């Protein structure tokens, strides 16, 4: 009989074994259809082409996937390489098969260029997002596996390219889907082409030890099996040497020789239920000495890709360490076949504990929502709906960009650079000119056409684009590019609003007044105030309300000053009146200190360096010899109650803050933190975010690994200072922030 037909029949038997009501005619039709379509084509090996789809279908059947998947595997290269069309396949084999084949074809057409890791992750996501149905990915992985198995017939360049791609895309995807067995084989074959010398070294070394390996393996298997039989535990025990790539990775990442690799051997004990797993663990730890810190309970805490097992490393009698993995049959299926195991082993979904984190979250969610439907239904509705809020597209150079779904060329342009967006005059998708509102799809190649004479974005773009990034950058452009225009319109609006409130523009532009107003508005210049109004960042009305507040405050301050001056005849140092006079000169509008000293009127005041009080702090004054009144915080050690009694009692005076005090007061803080990289930077960032003026900052590390940071800053009052302290407290590893006081 024809060997190819014979091979087909073996496939049919394999599928029938898990598909009792198999429509064999349909499967056979698919085979003959593919055979006819590929008729005359040869593989690089010289074999008829049909061998490849047949082999892929065999792997798919090994995974236990449904008949539609097996048929799609037989047809997977038809759309790409033969005359067959989507419509024809759909008519003959149904819409599902046609869509699976179409999906695999799309993935086949995808171009990869090796990139840095972040880009690769996007590529993997794009790959998975493009496959609407998870079966498409599974078939594609099987296709790749067979191509890797027959890679010897390809050119060396192709071998390397495909191996790299397999290592970077397919093996991680197989891992993510929990398909350990396929992953290992993909990795080992790829390694053989990527580092033939390294691969051969390990393989030869392992081969030379194979007799010893075998002896060790058989002995341990027998010991474990015997003991567990004594305990009455039904189980299967088998040992194996770990796969080449995992040994290779350990050798190179940890710079070890083969002899130094801890666990070359892995033994598996497969049992019927979970409680038996823990019993087995007890027996193993009783028989062999466990290696500390190597026990892992992936049953209690499954890996994100649903993997479950108990892992422990123990040391055998010959001093050789080995790993033992203990699991149930169901866990075993999941470990070997991952997502595909659900086709094979359709039970116990409801009480399965699934991973809760990271990459596999979507499968967990999928499975959770599917738990109540029956297994058959589950298989058919298992769609790949992760990343549905993202779309992945290529730049002409092959960089992958992740954009929000529904994104347009505008979003793409701004994701490259704001300058690209601002000078965009058109866009091409897959080589064709498109409109700005063109909706991008996964895998599209997007090219932005720019021009130096571009007029910049239009306001409509704000409604067309989908990403915040684009929106923010477009707004920024309007803010900056139209600055002159904004200033003019803003100034006109402000003047009109001022007239309305009977305030002359000259009043606020007065050189003594303007700095206060700008500080109040938190704007560096008057132009900036106008520009902000101009582009709509604030309104003239709001600005004028705050200007009025500030003018009122300045008036009150001037009044208090005048009153204080009138009362100041009692001068501390009559022998040196010029000092006093100088201090008072020019301060008729605002107080020098913002302090009223009871009984002394306006006199020379300074703030104690030890405790640097700010408005809002309870304070007390001390009449110094020669420098006026020194203001301390009431809680400053230098103003402690015992100091305020006794012979100097008379020199302590009551002082109060003027209601409207000076804009800025200098004060000091001390931070205590666990030292770490970037601490000082974080402190600086927090201070700058708090918008306070920092006058000095110094940091030193202690021998105990702590850091001490001193900050001298200017604040308006105690409440602003409190909010700064709160901010500093939030910095990671800071454990105390306090105001400097005393000594």
With respect to Mn ion, which residue has the nearer C-beta, 108 or 489? 108
CA–chain centroid gap for 726, Å, is: 27
With respect to Mn ion, which residue has the nearer C-beta, 77 or 497? 77
The window from 78-86, 138-146, 301-309, 683-691 that contacts Mn ion (CB under 5 A) reads 138-146
With respect to Mn ion, which residue has the nearer C-beta, 57 or 572? 57
CB of 73 to Mn ion, least distance (A): 9
Q: State the DSSP H helix or E strand holding residue 220, giving kind and residue range, or none if neither.
A: helix 210-230
With respect to Mn ion, which residue has the nearer C-beta, 136 or 413? 136
The window from 75-83, 380-388, 401-409, 509-517 that contacts Mn ion (CB under 5 A) reads 75-83
Residues that contact Mn ion, how many (by CB under 5 A): 2
With respect to Mn ion, which residue has the nearer C-beta, 38 or 352? 38
CB of 89 to Mn ion, least distance (A): 15
CB of 143 to Mn ion, least distance (A): 4
- Taking CB positions, which residue lies at the least distance from Mn ion? 143
The window from 141-149, 366-374, 635-643, 713-721 that contacts Mn ion (CB under 5 A) reads 141-149
- CB-based contacts of 676, cutoff 8 Å, min separation 6: 707, 732, 733
The window from 74-82, 221-229, 295-303, 391-399 that contacts Mn ion (CB under 5 A) reads 74-82
Return the C-alpha torsion angle 505, 511, 513, 515, nearest 10. 110
77 binds Mn ion (CB under 5 A): yes
Longest dimension (CA), the chain: 128
- CB-based contacts of 588, cutoff 8 Å, min separation 6: 558, 561, 562, 565
- Between CA 310 and CA 321 the distance in angstroms is 16
In the annotation, is 68 catalytic?
Answer: no
Q: State the DSSP H helix or E strand holding residue 16, giving kind and residue range, or none if neither.
A: helix 3-18
DSSP letter for each residue of 549-614:
HHHHHHHHHHHHHHHHHHHTT--S-TT-HHHHHHHHTT-SSS-SSSEEETTTBS--EEE-TTT---
Q: Which candidate, 166, 167, 168, 165, places its Cα nearest to that of 121?
A: 168
The window from 22-30, 137-145, 295-303, 707-715 that contacts Mn ion (CB under 5 A) reads 137-145
58 binds Mn ion (CB under 5 A): no
The window from 76-84, 275-283, 408-416, 505-513 that contacts Mn ion (CB under 5 A) reads 76-84
- CB-based contacts of 718, cutoff 8 Å, min separation 6: 614, 615, 616, 617
Residues paired with residue 607 on neighbouring β-strands, in sequence order: 631
Catalytic residue among 6, 13, 23, 80: 80
Site residues for Mn ion, window 636-695 (CB under 5 A)?
A: none
In the annotation, is 80 catalytic?
Answer: yes
With respect to Mn ion, which residue has the nearer C-beta, 8 or 265? 8
Q: At what angle do helices 156-165 and 134-149 cross, to 10 degrees?
A: 150
Catalytic residue among 81, 201, 666, 675: 81
The window from 69-77, 175-183, 590-598, 711-719 that contacts Mn ion (CB under 5 A) reads 69-77
Residues paired with residue 633 on neighbouring β-strands, in sequence order: 619
Q: Say how many CA atoms lie within 13 Å of 617 toward its Cβ.
A: 29
CB of 341 to Mn ion, least distance (A): 24
CB of 124 to Mn ion, least distance (A): 20
Under DSSP, the state recorded for 291 is: P
- Between CA 653 and CA 642 the distance in angstroms is 15
- CB-based contacts of 665, cutoff 8 Å, min separation 6: 594, 607, 612, 613, 614, 615, 714, 715, 716, 717
DSSP letter for each residue of 110-151:
-------HHHHHHHHHHHHHH-SBHHHHHHHHHHHHHHHHTG
68 and 90 Cβ atoms separated by less than 8 Å? no
Kindly tell me which residue out of 35, 143, 497, 617 binds Mn ion, with binding defined by CB under 5 A.
143
The window from 142-150, 228-236, 538-546, 704-712 that contacts Mn ion (CB under 5 A) reads 142-150
CB atoms within 10 A of CB 581: 10
CB of 86 to Mn ion, least distance (A): 17
CB of 188 to Mn ion, least distance (A): 20
CB of 238 to Mn ion, least distance (A): 33
CB of 149 to Mn ion, least distance (A): 12
85 and 102 Cβ atoms separated by less than 8 Å? no
With respect to Mn ion, which residue has the nearer C-beta, 77 or 168? 77
CA–chain centroid gap for 373, Å, is: 34
- Report helix, strand and coil shares of the chain as percent, to nearest 5: 50, 15, 30
Sign (positive/negative) of CA torsion 573, 577, 579, 583?
positive
Phi/psi for 314 (5° steps) reads -130, 165
The owner of tokens 């593989």 is 43
With respect to Mn ion, which residue has the nearer C-beta, 38 or 342? 38
CB of 196 to Mn ion, least distance (A): 25
Q: Which candidate, 326, 339, 347, 349, places its Cα nearest to that of 278?
A: 326
Burial class from Cβ neighbours inside 10 Å (0-12, 13-18, 19+) for residue 614 reads buried
Helix ranges (H only) for 288-396 are: 329-337, 341-344, 361-370, 375-381
Q: Which candidate, 365, 280, 384, places its Cα nearest to that of 331?
A: 280
- Between CA 475 and CA 462 the distance in angstroms is 8
Phi-psi sector, 735: left (phi>0), alpha (psi -120 to 50), beta: alpha
CB of 37 to Mn ion, least distance (A): 13
CB of 185 to Mn ion, least distance (A): 17
CB of 109 to Mn ion, least distance (A): 12
- What is the bridge-based pairing of β-strands 296-297 and 235-241? unpaired
- CB-based contacts of 408, cutoff 8 Å, min separation 6: 436, 437, 438, 439, 440, 464, 465, 466
Q: Which candidate, 564, 492, 549, places its Cα nearest to that of 516?
A: 549
CB atoms within 10 A of CB 431: 8
Active site residue ranges: 80-81
Interacting residues with Mn ion (CB under 5 A) = 77, 143
């Amino acid at each position: 009989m024809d060997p190819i037909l014979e091979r087909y029949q073996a496939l049919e038997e394999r599928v029938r074994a898990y598909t009792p009501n198999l429509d064999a005619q349909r499967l056979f039709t698919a085979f003959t259809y593919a055979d006819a379509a590929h008729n005359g084509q040869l593989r690089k090996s010289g074999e008829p082409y049909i061998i490849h789809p047949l082999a892929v279908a065999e792997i798919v059947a090994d995974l236990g996937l449904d008949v539609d998947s097996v048929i799609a595997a037989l047809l997977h290269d038809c759309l790409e390489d033969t005359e067959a069309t989507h419509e024809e396949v759909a008519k003959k084999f149904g819409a599902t098969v046609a869509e699976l084949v179409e999906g695999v074809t799309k993935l086949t057409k995808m171009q990869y260029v090796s990139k840095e890791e972040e880009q690769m992750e996007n590529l993997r996501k794009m790959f998975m997002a493009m496959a609407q149905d998870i079966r498409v990915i599974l078939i594609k992985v099987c296709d790749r596996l067979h191509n890797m198995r027959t890679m010897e017939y390809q050119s060396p360049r192709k071998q390397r390219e495909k191996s790299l791609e397999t290592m970077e895309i397919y093996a991680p995807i197989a891992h993510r889907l929990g398909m350990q067995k396929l992953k290992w084989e993909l990795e080992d074959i790829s390694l053989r082409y990527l580092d033939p010398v390294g691969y051969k070294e390990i393989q030869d070394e392992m081969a030379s030890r194979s007799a010893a390996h075998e002896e060790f393996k058989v002995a341990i298997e027998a010991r474990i099996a015997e003991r567990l039989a004594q305990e009455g535990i039904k189980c299967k025990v088998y040992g194996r040497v770990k796969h080449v790539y995992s040994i290779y990775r350990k050798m190179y990442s940890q710079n070890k020789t083969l002899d130094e690799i801890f666990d070359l051997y892995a033994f598996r004990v497969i049992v019927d239920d979970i409680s038996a797993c823990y019993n087995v663990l007890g027996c193993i730890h009783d028989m062999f000495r466990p290696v500390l810190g190597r026990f892992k309970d992936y049953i209690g805490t499954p890996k994100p890709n649903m993997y479950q097992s108990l892992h422990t490393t123990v040391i055998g009698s010959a001093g050789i360490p080995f790993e033992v993995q203990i699991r149930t049959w169901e866990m075993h299926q999941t470990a070997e076949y991952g997502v595909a195991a659900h086709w094979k082993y359709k039970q116990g979904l409801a009480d399965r504990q699934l991973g809760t984190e990271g990459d596999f979250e979507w499968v967990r969610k999928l499975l959770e929502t599917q738990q109540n439907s029956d297994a058959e239904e589950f298989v058919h509705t298992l769609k790949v709906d992760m990343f549905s809020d993202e779309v992945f597209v290529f730049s002409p150079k092959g960089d992958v960009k992740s954009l929000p779904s529904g994104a347009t060329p505008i979003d793409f342009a701004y994701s490259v650079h704001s300058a690209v967006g601002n000078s965009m005059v058109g866009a091409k998708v897959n080589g064709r000119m498109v409109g700005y509102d063109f909706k991008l799809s996964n895998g599209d190649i997007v090219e932005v056409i720019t021009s130096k004479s571009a007029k910049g974005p239009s306001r409509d773009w704000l409604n067309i684009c989908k990403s915040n990034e684009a929106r923010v950058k477009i707004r920024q452009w309007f803010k900056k590019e139209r600055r002159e225009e904004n200033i003019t319109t803003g100034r006109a609006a402000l003047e009109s609003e001022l007239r309305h409130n009977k305030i002359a523009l000259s009043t606020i532009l007065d050189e003594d007044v303007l700095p206060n107003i700008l500080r109040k508005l938190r704007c560096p210049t008057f132009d900036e105030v106008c520009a902000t109004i101009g582009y709509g960042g604030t309104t003239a009305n709001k600005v004028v309300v705050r200007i009025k507040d500030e003018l009122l405050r300045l008036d009150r301050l001037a009044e208090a000053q005048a009153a204080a001056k009138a009362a100041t005849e009692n001068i501390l140092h009559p022998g040196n009146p010029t000092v006093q006079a100088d201090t008072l000169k020019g301060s008729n509008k605002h107080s020098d200190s913002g302090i009223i000293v009871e009984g002394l009127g306006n006199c020379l005041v300074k703030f104690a360096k030890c405790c640097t009080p700010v408005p809002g702090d309870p304070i007390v004054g001390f009449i110094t010899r020669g420098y006026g009144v020194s203001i301390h915080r009431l809680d400053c050690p230098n103003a402690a109650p015992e100091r305020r009694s006794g012979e100097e009692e008379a020199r302590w005076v009551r002082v109060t803050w003027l209601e409207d005090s000076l804009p800025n007061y200098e004060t000091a803080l001390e931070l205590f933190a666990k030292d770490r990289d970037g601490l000082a930077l974080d402190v600086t960032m927090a201070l700058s975010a708090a918008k306070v003026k920092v006058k000095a900052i110094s940091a030193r590390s202690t021998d105990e690994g702590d850091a001490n940071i001193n900050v001298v800053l200017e604040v308006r009052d105690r409440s602003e200072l409190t909010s700064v302290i709160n901010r500093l407290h939030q910095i990671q590893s800071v454990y105390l922030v306090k105001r400097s006081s005393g000594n």
